[in-house]
Structure 1
C-alpha cells in the first residue's frame, strides 16, 4: 500500500464525517442519560422522601448494567440483522422514552424498573455505531472514527454533572429527565432521516462511494458469499474473538475505577473538596478524550503511509494497556498532583487502547454482516468487568482499611494481562478465515 493510493480523490464528498459527528452526539447523549439518575438520585430521595439504604441505591444504579450486559449479545446480532439505521433509531427511541418517563417513578421498585429498562434500551447503541463506522470509513480512517465514537462516552460522562445539576437547579429533577429524553427522541428522528449506508446515501457522491468501497470499508459489495454465511454462534470458535473478549474485559476492569471509585478516591484518599473535584477531577477524563483522538489520527496516518494494519492495531492496544498499568504508581505518590499525573497517564493510555479495540470488529469480521455482532460480543465481556471491578475495589478497600494500594496493584496486573492477550492471543487484524460449520 502506498500513501497516494489511499487519499480521497479530488471532489469526493465528506458525508462520512457528518455520519461520524451524528454518532458522536448520539453516544454522548447516551452516556448523559446513563449518568442522569446517578446525579439526580439525591434530589429524588429528598423530593419523594424515600430514605433509601446504600444497598438499595446500589441495586437501583446497578440494575442498568445487568440489563445492558444481558441484552448486549442480542443487541449486536440485532444491529447486524436490521442495520445501523434501524438499530440505532430503535435504541435511541427506547432509552429516550424511558428517560422521559422516569419522573413517574415513586419508589424503589419503579426506579429499579426504569433503570433496568434504560440498560436494555441502550445496549444496541455501541454495536450500531461501530457497524456504521466500519461501513463508512476505510481501514486507514477507522481508528480515528472509533476514537471519536468511543470519546462520546467520556464527553457524556464529563458533561453529566454540570448539565444535570444545571437542569435540576433551573426547574427540578423531573426536568432533567424530560429534557434529555426529548433530546434523545429528536436525535432518533434525525438519525433515521439522515443515516443511510454509503452506497444508498444521497449526499455521498460517486467519488466518495468509490473511495470507501475500494479501501477496505465493510460493505455488502465487498463480502464473499461464504463469509456472509458464517453463523453467529460460530464466531465464538475463533481464538481471536475469545482474545478480544478477555482483552476488553481487562481494559474495562481498570476504566471502571474512573467511572465509579475515582471521585471517592480523590475525596477520601487525597482530601479534595467539592470545588477541587470539579476542576482537578476532570483532568484524567480530558486527557483521555485528547489521547484517544490523537492516537486515532496517528494510527490512521501510519496505515495510510503503508504500515501493516495488524502491527498498528497491536501497538496501540498493547502499548495503551501497558500505559494503563501506570495506575499502580498513583497510590504511593505523596503529592496529589503526582497521583493525578499517573492517573491521567493511565486513563489516556486506556483510551488510546480503546481506539484499536473498537476498530477490531471492522477489521476481523468475516463479512459486513458480523461487525456489530463481534462488537456486541466483546462489549458483553467488557461490561462483566463493569459489574465485577467496582465490587473488587470496594472489597479490597474494606480488607486493607481504606488503602488504595492493593486495588491499584490488582488493576495494574489486569492491565498487563490485557496487553499480553492482545499481543499473543488476538490474531491478525484482517477478516477471520471461513471455517466449516
Structure 2
C-alpha cells in the first residue's frame, strides 16, 4: 500500500468527525425543539448559525495555515470545536445553543483550508482527484454514522448524551494527529522512493520538478476571476449539501411519517451511497484527466457533470415511491458533494504554489459557506410558509444548474498574478 494513503485516511476521519458534530443537531432537533419550544424558523437559524463565524474565519484561518502549517491549525481547530460540541450538552435554551454552535463553527473553519493544504503537500498532481474525494467522503460518511449512531443515542439516552459522544471522537482524532502526522520531508515512516515521488510531482500544477513556484499572496488571489467563479460554483454546491445536512431528517419525519430512529436510518442511506460513489467519481476523474491540460482547468468538466447529477433533486417533488425518492436523493447528494471535492482539486490544479493553497481554498470556502448558511434559513421559511419541502428542492436544483454553466464558462484560466477580472473581461470582449 502507498503509505501516503494513511494521510488521506487521516483527512477522511477529520471530515467524518467534523460532520458527525454538524449533523448532531439535526438528528436531535425533534427533542430539542419540543424541550425548548422552538419553531421551524428557530431551528433554521440554529442549523445555520455554526456557519456564521465559520464563514467569517475561513480566510484568516487560511492565511494562518499558510503561515504556521497544517499540523498546528488542524490540531487547534478540532480541539476547539470538540470542546464547543461538548458544551452543547449543557445548554438551556435557544441563546446558549446558538452560542455553542457559533464556537463550533469557529473551530471547524480550520479543517478545509488545512486539509486542502495537506493534499497539496502530500498528493501527486495525478492523484489529486482521488485524494480530495477521500478527504471529502468523510463529509458523507460522517452524517451517515451520525444519523445511525447518534439517532440511537438520542432515542436511548437523550439528546445531551449525543453531543458528548460526538465530542469525544474529536479528542481521539486530535491525539492520533499529534502523534503521527508529519510533512513528507520529515515522515520517518515514509519510504525514500515514495518521498521522492511526492516531492517531485506535487508542484507546478502537475508538472514534475521540486522547485517551488513563488507565492501569489492574498491580494493577487482576490483579483482572480477564476477564484471568484470557483467560489460561486462552490457556493451553489454547498447550498445543496446543507439542505441535505440540516433538513433531510426533518423532511423524512414530516413528509414520510418516519420516527426519529427510522428517519436516521433512511438519512444514512443517501450519505453512505454518496460516499462510495464520490470516491469512485474521484478515481474516474483522475483517469479521465490523464494526458489532459490539468493546468488549464480541464477538471471543470468533471465539476459541471457532478452539478448536473445534483440537479436530479428537481425530480423529487414528483416522486411518490419511497425507493425512487431515496434514489434521487442519493444521486443528487452524490453530485453536489462530488462537485465540492472536484472544486477543491480544481483550485490546487490551477495554483502554481502550495504556499497559496490554504488561503485559496479558504476563499472559495467563504463563497461556499456564504450560500451554505442561507440554505437552512431559507428552507425554514419555505417550510413555514408552504408547509412543504418541495419548493426548497426546486430552489436547490436551479442553483446547481446555474453553477454548472458558470464552471464551464468562467474557470478556463490558471490562477496567476496577472489573471484579473478586468483582464479576462477585456480578453473575452476582444
**Residue number among 235, 239, 247 corresponding to 1:253 in the alignment:** 239
CA apart distance, 1:26: 1.5
Are residues 192 and 361 of structure 1, via their aligned partners in 2, closer, same or farther at CA, if it must alter by over 3 Å? farther
Q: Where does residue 410 of structure 1 map in the other structure?
A: 395
1:282 aligns with 2:271: no
**Residue number among 199, 211, 215 corresponding to 1:213 in the alignment:** 199
Contact between 1:287 and 1:347, CA under 8 Å: does it hold in 2? no
Distance of 2:115 and 2:81 partners within structure 1: 15
CA apart distance, 1:242: 0.5
Are residues 418 and 60 of structure 1, via their aligned partners in 2, closer, same or farther at CA, if it must alter by over 3 Å? closer
CA apart distance, 1:60: 3.7
Q: Where does residue 232 of structure 1 map in the other structure?
A: 218
Q: Where does residue 371 of structure 2 map in the other structure?
A: 385
Equivalent position SS for 1:198: coil
Are residues 165 and 264 of structure 1, via their aligned partners in 2, closer, same or farther at CA, if it must alter by over 3 Å? closer
Contact between 1:68 and 1:119, CA under 8 Å: does it hold in 2? yes
Contact between 2:319 and 2:325, CA under 8 Å: does it hold in 1? yes
Q: Where does residue 112 of structure 1 map in the other structure?
A: 98
CA apart distance, 1:255: 2.3
Q: Where does residue 422 of structure 1 map in the other structure?
A: 407
Q: Is there any run of 5+ residues in structure 2 with no aligned partner, and where? A: 421-430
Are residues 242 and 201 of structure 1, via their aligned partners in 2, closer, same or farther at CA, if it must alter by over 3 Å? same
Q: Where does residue 24 of structure 1 map in the other structure?
A: 12
Distance of 2:142 and 2:73 partners within structure 1: 21
Q: Where does residue 223 of structure 1 map in the other structure?
A: 212
Distance of 2:262 and 2:152 partners within structure 1: 18
Q: Where does residue 36 of structure 1 map in the other structure?
A: 24
Contact between 1:91 and 1:122, CA under 8 Å: does it hold in 2? yes
1:113-167 Cα distance to aligned partner (Å, 9 max, x none): 2221111011101111111011100111111111111111111111113322444
CA apart distance, 1:354: 2.5
Q: Where does residue 5 of structure 1 map in the other structure?
A: none
Which runs of structure 2 are paired with 1:272-351 in the superposition (5 Å)? 272=258, 276-303=262-289, 305-309=290-294, 310=296, 312-351=298-337
RMSD across aligned C-alpha pairs, in angstroms? 2.8
CA apart distance, 1:382: 0.8
Deviates more, 1:185-194 or 1:122-131: 185-194
Which runs of structure 2 are paired with 1:21-100 in the superposition (5 Å)? 21-40=9-28, 43=31, 50-52=36-38, 54-100=40-86
1:286-323 Cα distance to aligned partner (Å, 9 max, x none): 221122100111112234x4233256512210111112
- Normalised to the residue count of structure 1, the TM-score between the two structures is 0.86
**Residue number among 127, 148, 154 corresponding to 1:162 in the alignment:** 148
CA apart distance, 1:257: 2.2
Distance of 1:297 and 1:380 partners within structure 2: 27
1:336-358 Cα distance to aligned partner (Å, 9 max, x none): 33333332222222233223112
Deviates more, 1:119-128 or 1:199-208: 199-208
Q: Where does residue 427 of structure 2 map in the other structure?
A: none
Q: Is there any run of 5+ residues in structure 1 with no aligned partner, and where? A: 1-12
CA apart distance, 1:328: 1.2
Contact between 2:144 and 2:268, CA under 8 Å: does it hold in 1? yes
Q: Where does residue 132 of structure 1 map in the other structure?
A: 118
Deviates more, 1:188-197 or 1:157-166: 157-166
CA apart distance, 1:396: 4.2
Are residues 284 and 23 of structure 1, via their aligned partners in 2, closer, same or farther at CA, if it must alter by over 3 Å? same
CA apart distance, 1:206: 1.8
Contact between 1:147 and 1:354, CA under 8 Å: does it hold in 2? no
- Normalised to the residue count of structure 2, the TM-score between the two structures is 0.87
Distance of 1:394 and 1:43 partners within structure 2: 17
Q: Where does residue 369 of structure 1 map in the other structure?
A: 355
Are residues 189 and 340 of structure 1, via their aligned partners in 2, closer, same or farther at CA, if it must alter by over 3 Å? closer
Contact between 1:318 and 1:353, CA under 8 Å: does it hold in 2? yes
1:45-78 Cα distance to aligned partner (Å, 9 max, x none): 77xx644555544444432111111211212111
Equivalent position SS for 2:388: coil
Contact between 1:295 and 1:355, CA under 8 Å: does it hold in 2? no
**Residue number among 406, 413, 418 corresponding to 1:435 in the alignment:** 418
